[in-house]
Amino acid sequence: MTSKRGFTTTILHADRLGKPEHGALHKPIHTSVTYGYDDVQDLVDIFQNKKKGYAYSRQGNPTVSALESKVTQMENGMSTIAFSTGMAAISASILALIKHGDHILASSYLFGNTRSVFQSFMDMGLDITFVDATSIDNVKNGIKPSTKLIFVETIANPATQIVELEKIGDLCQEKGIIYMVDNTMTSPYLFNPVNVKASLVINSLTKYIGGHGNALGGSVTDTGLFNWTNFPNIF
């Protein structure tokens, strides 16, 4: 009987189990900006998402894909997209999901830069309300008919307030609201937001996941719990 791999073992062997090229134990770093194909139809199919592959590194490359795969495993998610920073991950997600007339309900206890970028979105006309999310009643009272997304942190940076994670997850699932949880302060080693019904998980890879303070990065992971077919901004 095979025992379940622990967190560290899973991540340690993540590259090897993905069978990197030439029998390498770890995924090599790919520095190419563009990727060529003998048949132009292959390139067309990749651009149209009919076929897996790489065309231009801004859209993805094998190195970034390996990182995304590892984050997905750490978060017990369905898939991950990596960004240059955590703030880029948050900003791109909001811009992709929220349109004029939609409402975002956010915890009052957020990382300062997150609060700043939300303020910039408000200056551009997005409807964002901040509430003390340590009380589920405050969250319930803050919801509007136009609320599309609730944003919280697992443990607030820097004052460490902890919001009603599980109750908010139940509420979002009941009302069909996207539940975006920033897991940076906790890290997937200590906590997986999928366990409180999070729809999307944000990580600043610069912090605990990077570990050494020598690289910037961010990610958003789809947990697979939200029914995107009911979300008009996407479909």
**Gap between the Cα atoms of 210 and 205, Å rounded:** 5
Cβ density class 12-22: b for 16+ within 10 Å, e for less? eebbeeeeeee
Q: Label residue 1 by pLDDT band (50, 70, 90).
A: very low
Would you state the torsion angle of the CA atoms of residues 156, 165, 90, 26, taken in this order, to the nearest 10 degrees?
90
**Gap between the Cα atoms of 105 and 88, Å rounded:** 19
Q: What local confidence, expressed as pLDDT, does residue 28 receive?
A: 87
Q: Is residue 76's pLDDT more than 80? A: yes
The predicted-structure confidence for 29-56, as pLDDT tens digits, reads as follows 989 999 999 999 999 999 898 999 999 9
Domains of the chain and any CATH numbers: 62-230 (3.40.640.10)
Enter the pTM of the model: 0.92
Q: Is residue 235's pLDDT more than 70? A: no
**Gap between the Cα atoms of 18 and 197, Å rounded:** 28
- The amino acid at 235: F
Q: Let me know: does 195 contact 173? Beta carbons within 8 Å.
A: no
The predicted-structure confidence for 12-25, as pLDDT tens digits, reads as follows 888 877 788 888 88
Q: Is residue 173's pLDDT more than 70? A: yes
**Gap between the Cα atoms of 163 and 109, Å rounded:** 9
What's the average model confidence in pLDDT over 181-192? 97
